[in-house]
Structure 1
């Protein structure tokens, strides 16, 4: 088990952990019914916190942020000497948590995506982990929730008997949701993004050789160029430039340089 604490990467505190340590933290919080916000951040997710002081505040109040992408893991190793041998890939973390939850008898809740996606995801997960209890599912409304809708969702999650909730709303909406709702549901909320689509069989994953070389972004860009070209062609060079500045100690973003959100947004 590797847990080398939180470290500043461009102003966002990332946990230098492996899968075993991350799953242990999540399951422990689930058993204790302790509020916990968890996210797996690749470069895009990290940069949402770099460029937005309010969102940086949210991320730095997460109990666990794991290095989803190899470029984020490399940054931890280069900047802080953490010597992490592997990333903690969000889709794989979801499977690891589901496997442990099945054995430990911890029911889960799935929130996000469409009804069709959730039906396929639920079928695939229960086939893969026969002992997994899925206490409930709720599709996204793909907009900001009203106050009554938010309270209805909280009541549904809490009444379901779930001990762990997975949130698949896309970045950064899922992180906003997890930050705002964790105290209301008193359980780990895992923002896992495209993991829902991957595990439901609706979205192809990059080949392993591309993942291992930090090129998953290129695979996704080729698949969805119109939607993703601005994200990757702007954010990736900016990430590398800021990382160089922090590495050479010419400039570093202070994790305390944040602004508390002026109001709750509660995407759902």
Structure 2
């Protein structure tokens, strides 16, 4: 649909993240489900931003199905943001690489840090910074990057929600020589605020129904408006009734980044 998604599994994604961390080079990754894909479809500027990511993993069965249907990729599994976060944190703990957590509210990140201290006691957290829920002021992104760099972190996890987190990490890429991962609701899951859908619902592409039943007021547009549009675009592309235009990847920030 014009949004470039990598044909990749968990092991491949983790390998790319830690290759960049060890080599201390810029690297940005996001996990896109249907909602994330549709933000790119509906906004060409954001689409160009997404296509500039080093890795975009297919988050959820519907995205995996689309890759297999349109491109015969034979991808056997999707790459869930929360599960990828778990594997990345476990790997960071084993390699003793310090992690920086950026995003969400002060209360939720405090809960997240407390839980991680219990479940991954060897994990080194270099710093924690909650979101301000607004656009960055002039020079603010550079100051955030400086704080992250000064903390000694080698890896940053960002939980701002889609599409804010993609805009943030895209703006940070030129400023930090380390991986930044936009992990969506992973902070909420690992802090215990959200529970993942049962595995059988995930396998059958029904994780959206689980989320919608718990937060209908917040998520109704995402699932009742964007999901049908996704299916329509997917069908017309498969039938060759519509061909997407793929925006040229842009590494240059063009909008105020959210913080």
Which bin holds the TM-score, normalised by the shorter protein?
over 0.9
Per-residue Cα deviation, 1:126-157 (whole angstroms, up to 9, x for no partner)? 32222211100101111112124323211110
Aligned pair partner of 2:81 in 67, 78, 90: 90
Which residues of structure 2 form unaligned runs of 5+?
A: none
> Equivalences for 1:231-242 in 2 at 5 Å?
231-242=222-233
- Residue in 1 that maps onto 2:40: 49
SS of the aligned residue for 2:97 comes to coil
Between the aligned partners of 1:224 and 1:165, the Cα distance in structure 2 is 28
Aligned pair partner of 1:214 in 187, 205, 218: 205
Which residues of structure 1 form unaligned runs of 5+?
A: 1-9
Between the aligned partners of 1:167 and 1:257, the Cα distance in structure 2 is 25
Check the 8 A contact 2:27/2:177 in 1, yes or no.
yes
Deviation >4 Å, runs of 4+: 257-262
SS of the aligned residue for 1:142 comes to coil
RMSD: 1.5
After alignment, is 127-136 or 61-70 more displaced? 127-136
Check the 8 A contact 2:60/2:80 in 1, yes or no.
yes
* 2:250 is the alignment partner of 1:254: no
> Equivalences for 1:174-189 in 2 at 5 Å?
174-189=165-180
Between the aligned partners of 1:164 and 1:260, the Cα distance in structure 2 is 20
Between the aligned partners of 2:47 and 2:116, the Cα distance in structure 1 is 32
Per-residue Cα deviation, 1:40-98 (whole angstroms, up to 9, x for no partner)? 00000000000000000000000000000110001111111111111000000001001
Q: How many residues align?
A: 259
Between the aligned partners of 1:228 and 1:22, the Cα distance in structure 2 is 28
Between the aligned partners of 1:227 and 1:103, the Cα distance in structure 2 is 37
- Residue in 2 that maps onto 1:11: 2
TM-score (norm 1): 0.93
SS of the aligned residue for 2:7 comes to strand
SS of the aligned residue for 1:202 comes to coil
- Residue in 2 that maps onto 1:199: 190
TM-score (norm 2): 0.96
* 2:179 is the alignment partner of 1:152: no
